[in-house]
Amino acid sequence: MHTDTTSESLATRAAKAFAAYRGGDLHRMDELVDMLSPLLWHTARGQGLSQTGAQDVVQTAWLRLVENADRINEPQAVMGWLLVTVRRESWRVVKDSGRVAGEVPAEIVDKAPGPAAMAVVSEQNGALWDHFRQLTPRCQALLRVIAFSDKPDYAAISEALGMPLGSIGPTRGRCLAKLRESLTADPTWEGAL
């Protein structure tokens, strides 16, 4: 890794990797892909796409970044640019399928992990995701984006999710409180809150 990940936001690390890539260090794109793909994948899944659909959308976003790298004037904008691209591509895929963005059809909701994941994922994680899916789409999108950043870049999140900058923290708090309340009311939940 080329940067100190403990003191820089995800957006800053992404900007440095992108700037180095544009400067000719092509291997830094691998770093950027490793760094941002989980965030992009969860953003696509949050729009109601299947696992395969989300993978296609994320791959399309990376392809568009490579095609348009010279058009992004400010490297600091790369994370927001990718998030917006994933959201727009997800909306296009959802629209083409005849559904509404944010609606997750029952056939693609992960009700139980596959056999390999079952060995790793506990019952509590399954219950947590069940309760998470009961949150509003806005809460789900915000918590997905924030969960994959050690130091969330609120400006990038604001741009990507179309939320006012000053409302991100309070909204995050309300969403987490709703999740905590839902889990606490579940008699099967044993997690420490």
pLDDT digits (tens, 9 = 90+) for 43-81: 888 887 888 888 899 999 999 999 999 998 899 889 989
Closest by CA to 107, choosing from 33, 50, 46, 67, is 50
Tokens of 69: 């790298």
SS3 190: coil
Which whole-number Å values give the CA distances from 103 to 50, 68, 99, in the listed order? 12, 30, 7
- Which two tokens mark 152? 């969330």
More confident residue, 84 or 147: 84
Mean pLDDT on 127-134: 82
The pLDDT mean for the chain works out to 78
Question: For residue 72, with 0-12 CB atoms within 10 Å meaning exposed, 13-18 middle and 19 or more buried, which class applies?
Answer: middle
Measured between alpha carbons, how far apart are the two ends of the chain, in Å?
34
Q: What is the DSSP letter of 164?
A: -
What is d(CA 99, CA 38) in angstroms, rounded to the nearest whole number? 24
| Predicted confidence (pLDDT) at residue 113 exceeds the cutoff of 80 | no
Give the pLDDT score at 15. 92
Calpha distance 153→79 (Å, rounded): 10
For the cut 80, the answer to whether the pLDDT of residue 33 exceeds it is yes
Instruction: Return the pLDDT at 107.
Output: 46
Q: Which residue has the higher pLDDT, 157 or 15?
A: 15
Among 26-30, 84-88, 117-121, 175-179, the range scoring the smallest mean pLDDT is 117-121
Residue 52 one-letter amino acid: T
Mean pLDDT of 106-128: 52
Amino acid at 87: R
Quote the CA–CA distance of 22 and 69 in Å, as a whole number: 7
**pTM summary value:** 0.57
In the DSSP assignment, the letter for residue 150 is S
Confidence tier at 115 by pLDDT (50, 70, 90): low
Q: What is the predicted pLDDT for the residue at 147?
A: 74
